Amino acid sequence: MDQTHTDPRFDGPGPDAQYRQSLLEGRFELQHCEDCSAARFPPALVCRRCGSARLAWRVSSGVGEVYATTTVRDRAGDYNVAIVELEQGARMMSRIDGIAADAVRMGMPVQAHIVPGDEPFVVFTPSPGAPL
């Protein structure tokens, strides 16, 4: 007896591949649950809030604020690691560019930018007018 079961969530490229492809095409997208409206990052197969598999991709405004930050001291130069809470509600770990590592503050308004390349990624910069 064949007990192989297929789940349509596993057909095709996974959510990480879809996220990467959107970055390659110059779009910063987040998943949004169609049942509970939660935005989520990192990409996943189900909503962590309600367990629904009905996740849709939507372009993010990239607007957020620093939720938490730390400065990493390194011989090659200090850098920051920050958790940014996006206006859609999802949080993501990244860095804040365009400012000294130890000048990043919790609550600082920031804007996402895609760093292009073979493996694109998202960084943030202080929003125009943000206190530095």
HSE of 75 in the Cβ direction (CA atoms, 13 Å)?
0
Nearest CA among 31, 119, 41 for reference residue 85: 41
pLDDT for the residue 9: 57
Nearest 5°: CA angle at 16, between 10 and 21? 110
pLDDT for the residue 128: 87
Share of the chain above pLDDT 70, in %: 89
Could you tell me which residues are beta bridge partners of residue 51? none
Q: What domains, with CATH codes, occur in the chain?
A: 13-126 (2.40.50.840)
**Is the pLDDT score of 37 beyond 70?**
yes
Q: Quick: pLDDT tens for 102-123.
A: 999 999 999 999 999 999 999 9
Residue 87: which pLDDT band, with cuts at 50, 70 and 90?
A: very high
Residue 2: which pLDDT band, with cuts at 50, 70 and 90?
A: low
- How close are the terminal C-alpha atoms of the chain, in Å? 66
Q: Which pTM was predicted?
A: 0.86
CB of 126 within 8 A of CB of 38? no
